[in-house]
Each structure stands twice: as structure tokens, then as C-alpha cells.
Amino acid sequence: MGTTSPHATPRATRGPSTPKSPDPARRNPRSQQAIFEASLDLVGKVGYEKLTIEAIAARAGVGKQTIYRWWPSKAAVLLDAFTATVEDPDYDAGFPDTGDLAADLKGVLRATVDEFNDPAFEAPYRALAIASAGDPELAHSFVTRLSERGVQVYMDRLRTAQEAGEIDPRTDLRIATELMLSPFAQRWLTRSGPLTYAFTDALVDHALRGILTRDPGDPGDPGDPGDHRGPGDAGA
């Protein structure tokens, strides 16, 4: 997404913007964990609009001033909580590379379907995605801390395939990645259709059809004049 990442995500209802948070090392780890758990639990139950710092504090068993001392808004709390929850120590190991590009891409996107269809993941991620649409600083944090990492992992896998000669050297790898991740995000955000394995498999197939290296004269090759015939030119 994740991203997409989809291993690719989604501050406040219009409170203060979200400057850099105070040094996390100065926070009480036990209280911080209680606040994270409370914010993720509550956003899933009441939604982002009804989520409040006061409710988070009450659920976590801390004073609301403790939260305000560490975070400037409820969105900042939720972003830190969600980031901590989805952080994977093995994430930086990169994208699976079995030697089969299509299978690797489909496997990761299928796992992302499962993740985005999980209510425990979906509620906070959707809340952050919606909130960031109206808050440029939150949007920047959302992109740099969550979604951009996923994009880069996809691009790295495509770059490996490009260096191996599988992908046309003229291909813009970011655009190629977005050919898969952007429709995924659009469908999820707008609820315009179900997120299914069939859908993400089709995204991969269509994207690869446009970027894989072809031998001259192969059907679909950009230099093949047959590609440019119109519907009425079948016998030409």
C-alpha cells in the first residue's frame, strides 16, 4: 500500500498541527503502552470523530495532561500507536524474492488484503488516512512513516527484476508500483468494491503486462504495428 504498502496506510479534528513529538525516551513505557492500546481500542469502537484525548486518558488510566505533554493531538497519539503496532523488525529485510516476480507481488498483495480487511488494522488506518486529508503535516508524517516505506519495498523488488532484464529498462519504477498500489488504496478508501485476491492478482497481471521486457515482434510489443490497429482493422 504499504504499506500501499499496501504494506501501504493511512490529526486531530482540526486542532493544532502535528509538530515533532517530544522525545519518546522520556515517556513512561507502561503508560505509553496503555495509551496506545486505549487509542486503538477506542477508535475501533467509537470512530475517529468521537475519539477524544479525555476518553483515551480515562481508558488508559492516566491524566489527560500526561497525554498532552507527550502528544499535541489525538491524531499524533493514534499515529504513534498505529506505527508501533504495525512495526515489523524484519520489514527492512525487504520484499520476498523467489525468482518469480509475479508470484512475489501477488503473495504480498494477498497478505495486504488480509491485513486491510482485519477490523483491528482497518479502523485506525482508515481514521489516519481520512484525518491526513485535511492536515498537511499529518499527511507528511503518514507518508514518511507508513506508506512510503511500503512503496520503496515494492520499488526495490521491481528494480531487482529490472536489473535482471525482466522489466523494460525504460520503466519508471515508482509509476509501476503505483499501478498496483493506487487502485488498491482507491478501492479500500472509497469502498467501491471488495478487496479480494482476485482483484489484487489482476492488478499485478495488468501492471506486469505493461512493464515486462518483450522480444521484438511479440504480440503487445510497443513497436509492433499490429498493436495500433483499431477494431475495424482486423483484416488489414
Name 39's Cβ contacts closer than 8 Å, sequence gap at least 6: 51, 56, 74, 77, 78, 81, 124
**Alpha-carbon gap, residue 38 to 80, rounded angstroms:** 12
Task: Scan for cell 499485478, then name that residue.
Answer: 204
Q: Would you give the DSSP letter of residue 225?
A: G
Instruction: Say if residues 179 and 155 touch (Cβ distance below 8 Å).
Output: no
Name 19's Cβ contacts closer than 8 Å, sequence gap at least 6: 72, 137
Angle at 42 between CA 37 and CA 47, to 5 degrees: 140
Q: H/E element holding 139? A: helix 136-142
> Looking at residue 156, what is its pLDDT?
93
How would you write the pLDDT of the chain (236 residues) with one tens digit per residue?
444 445 443 333 333 344 444 555 467 889 999 999 999 999 888 888 899 999 999 999 999 999 999 999 898 999 999 888 766 555 556 688 999 999 999 999 999 999 999 988 898 989 888 888 888 888 898 888 888 888 999 999 999 999 999 999 999 999 999 999 999 999 999 999 999 999 999 999 999 999 999 755 555 544 443 343 333 444 43
**Alpha-carbon gap, residue 122 to 139, rounded angstroms:** 17
Task: Tell me which amino acid residue 232 is.
Answer: G
